[in-house]
Structure 1
Amino acid sequence: MNVPVAIRNQRGPGLLALQWADAEALISHARLRGACPCSQCRAARLQGRVSLVSEDVRVEQVVAQGYGVQLVFSDGHERGIYPWTHLRDLG
């Protein structure tokens, strides 16, 4: 499994920095919120419902879940667990 060696949550600029063994990826909090892998968000995307995400949304908390991380957002959304492969693809 490809796991990042470091994760830094940069609230000011709204970026999640992931340091992989071979590269660093910076992913905006808004992009992460819009790509939430939880069942509700996935179902909405599959039904063609596009949810507008505010550029002001921030990741408030990063919780390790073994195969990825759970992200808690400033808009109250906290259902998504982002597998490492999903984060790698987003970066």
Structure 2
Amino acid sequence: MHHDAPQAIVDHRRGGVLEITWPDGRVQRLRHGLLRARCRCAACERQRRQGLGDAPADASVRLTHLAPVGAQGLNLQFSDGHDRGIYPWAYLRQLGGL
């Protein structure tokens, strides 16, 4: 699995897709709803451990803000108010296989 930072990140907000281009040329298109559902913040992980599963992959949820977290990944904030998710590059690559 590659851990390199992407070459390009484009948020297609209207369409609800985050497009990531990796150094090896692979282009991923991750739905905002999927990103929200697969958040790994402490609250979302606790919900999973309690057997409540992922947050619903709501197609109406949109990214409202994304910011780099050092050289490791992105912090994503969503229209439902959720703003604690840090997504390492390796995890984003993994999500692209779903």
TM value normalised by structure 2: 0.88
Q: Which residue of 1 aligns with 2:29?
A: 26
**Gap runs ≥5 in structure 2:** none
In percent, how many aligned pairs have the same letter? Answer: 41
1:63 is aligned, of 59, 62, 67, to 67
Separation in 2, partners of 1:40, 1:64? 21
Q: Which residue of 1 aligns with 2:9?
A: 7
Separation in 2, partners of 1:9, 1:79? 18
Separation in 1, partners of 2:90, 2:49? 20
**Deviation at residue 35 of structure 1 after TM alignment:** 0.4
Separation in 1, partners of 2:28, 2:49? 27
**Deviation at residue 45 of structure 1 after TM alignment:** 1.2
Separation in 2, partners of 1:9, 1:87? 14
The CA deviation string for residues 38-91 of structure 1, in whole angstroms up to 9 with x for no partner, is 011011112210332421000011111121100010001000110111101001
TM value normalised by structure 1: 0.94
Q: After TM superposition, which residue ranges in structure 1, 4 or more long, deviate above 4 angstroms?
A: none
Separation in 2, partners of 1:46, 1:29? 23
**Gap runs ≥5 in structure 1:** none
Tell me the amino acid that sits aligned with residue 47 of structure 1: Q
1:35 is aligned, of 38, 42, 61, to 38
